[in-house]
A and B are shown apart, each in its own frame.
Chain A
Amino acid sequence: MASVIELTNVTKQFGDVTALRGVDLAVEAGEVFGFLGPNGAGKSTTIDMLLDFIRPTAGEIRVLGMDPRTESVELRKHVGILPDGYHIYDRLTGRQHVQFAIDSKGGDDDPMALLERVGIPEAADRKAGGYSKGMTQRLVLAMALAGEPDLLVLDEPTTGLDPAGAREMRDIIREEVARGATVFFSSHILEQVEAVCDRVAILNRGELVAVDTIDNLRASMGDGATLTVTVDAEPTEDALDAVEALPGITSVSATGTTVTVHCISSAKTAVLDAIEASGLHVSDFATERTSLEDLFLKYTGNGDEPAASADDATEPATDAAMEVEQ
């Protein structure tokens, strides 16, 4: 099967404002794909186009092999959405909301089972207008899960959830992927993305600035993880060379019995194994990851931006795009 989500040179303008500019993106089946970017970067605009809430000014979009514009209804039978900036029906109960989603998809799920999965069965027969933000978010997630969608699109899914709720959200995402679904999930909360995503895209000011695994992104920054290993004797040159020869290693240095290795995160185990293999005993080690925050800021921040070429031109547009997204 082709990519689950495929954007080709997609541009969206709201009047004079360019909210999205020439975005190319492919999300493969079975992935958990994180869609990162600061507020106003165009994340919701992109998601709204996947669901045909808004239409691209130029470019082509395929979701599950379908064109959202012409096959919108058929497409949405296979997609579960937790949108951004939604509002529930205050006068209807939680159960009625979920039942509506089930009826709409023509399924025969049990609304209570879905409400139990998202952790709010006790609120099933209360009017949703009285729900807290977190409960509302869980309710809409339950609606999204109705009908076992092939693709789950979650726009800022952890908004309003406490840490325990955010963890449950991640568990549900993993369950859905295990079932065979693809998850496309936007966030500006980096830990959430890191904990659950296979790959991420970073969107800034309407342009895609990076698409890769988090490890590769770290590596591409040249300063992935820093591994500090304390060994029982001073390492030999051969031992250090053996470590340096491993894939994903940026640099190796030793001071006394302390070895410092800069590498990508996934190489850490191999580094420890290589040190042990050279006859040294590892008595302690610590890792310090390049924080995703740093990574993110490097791509989107105001300092040395990789995608700063059209910057002066996009500056006013971005502020307006931010308002459009609200």
Chain B
Amino acid sequence: MSWTAVARKDFQDARLSRSLWLLTGLFVLFAAGMAWVYTEIEALGAGDPQITALGLYDFLASSATLFVSIAALVLAYKAVAGERDSGSVKLLLGLPHSRLDVVLGKVVGRTATLAVSIVLGFVVALGVIVTLYDAYSLVDYALFVGVTLLFALVYVSLMVGISASVSTSGKAAALAFGTFVVVELLWGAVATAAVYVANGFALPATMAQYPTWYFGIVSLSPSAAYQSALATVLDGASTTGEVIGGTAEAVYLEPWFGFVWLTLWLLVPLAVGAFRFSRADL
């Protein structure tokens, strides 16, 4: 397997990207800012330290989903298609790498690049937390960062999969941005639309009448899956179903199922992309 050489080269290359460092700077400010803002909010009402800490992670996670998804898009949409565009793929594939190695190497290299930014942001945020909080758990914080890194891997994999499935950067940009908009911004509407259609082009009168699978759809988006996964490792959290107001019960609404969704997001788009890339004329 030669994906390690590809990943190393890609990491050397991508970490020098200016847009990445701009995003990282923003994220460091944002994560530290969020940690600080949260202390301000918390100061307004007295809180149980356990709940407070949990609330902080929700707070940080919501900024992380936005940063990770946008950064992964910027960092990875050109990973393969851009090389096909410019012709550097001929250097890459003139060397003894299989096309699958190229795709895997890209995922690992770009994830490592993004991980540097994420860790940097959360280290600074930890500094803020250590300074301002009396009670915090380093273990929980490490788990939180770990799940966020997994989320970054999933998102980079999704974007590299998209990049590998098309022939030009332009197409990759359109598809990556479209996917981001649908999955991150319009996902609730997609789920609602599905119910609307399934229900004979009308919406149920109350939330309680929504079918269980509706909550399944809502919970399967990458960021919803990430938040479910976080809730699993930082115990005591609510299930996704309860979060969005339903009372439905199903195995796919259990918080741990977030890991299953994340795994699917990790593998399926990448498999499609790798398959299409392996059959493409460069």
Contacts and interface: CB of A to CB of B under 8 A. Distances in A.
Nearest to A53: B282
B93 A104 contact: no
B91 A140 contact: yes
B88 A72 contact: no
Interface string A61-95: 00000000000111111011101111111011000
A96 interface: yes
Contacts of B8: 100, 103
A221 to B, nearest CB: 36
A54 B96 contact: no
B281 A88 contact: no
A105 interface: yes
B88 A87 contact: yes
A14 B280 CA distance: 12
Interface string B250-274: 0000000000000000000000000
A143 B6 CA distance: 15
Contacts of A117: none
Contact of A86 (B16, B17, B87): B87
B32 to A, nearest CB: 28
Given A53-B93, A87-B86, A92 B98 contact: no
A96 B98 CA distance: 21
Contact of A74 (B6, B12, B16, B96): B96
Interface in B1-54: 2, 5-6, 8-9, 12-13, 16-17
B279 to A, nearest CB: 8
B171 interface: no
Nearest to A72: B98
Q: Which of A73, A84, A96, A143 has the most CB of B within 10 A?
A: A73
Contacts of A96: 9, 12
B282 A48 contact: yes
A83 B88 CA distance: 10
A88 B91 contact: yes
A86 B88 contact: yes
A51 B94 contact: yes
A103 B282 CA distance: 23
Contact of B87 (A54, A74, A87): A87
Interface residues of B, number: 23
A51 B98 CA distance: 11
A73 B3 CA distance: 12
A83 B98 contact: no
Interface size class of A (residues with CB under 8 A): 35 or more
A101 B88 contact: no
B13 A54 contact: no
Given A54-B281, A55-B281, A104 B87 contact: no
Given A96-B12, A104-B95, A85 B87 contact: yes
Interface in B99-154: 101
Nearest to A79: B94
B93 A105 contact: no
Contact of B98 (A73, A86, A100, A143): A73
B91 A73 contact: no
Given A53-B90, A83-B90, A104 B13 contact: no
B276 interface: no
A73 B90 contact: no
Contact of A76 (B6, B9, B94): B94
Given A48-B282, A53-B281, A54-B281, A89 B94 contact: no
Given A53-B93, A91-B16, A103 B87 contact: no
Contacts of B87: 83, 85-87
Nearest to B93: A53
B95 A101 contact: yes
Given A80-B94, A85-B87, 6 more contacts: A53-B282, A72-B98, A74-B96, A87-B86, A96-B9, A105-B96
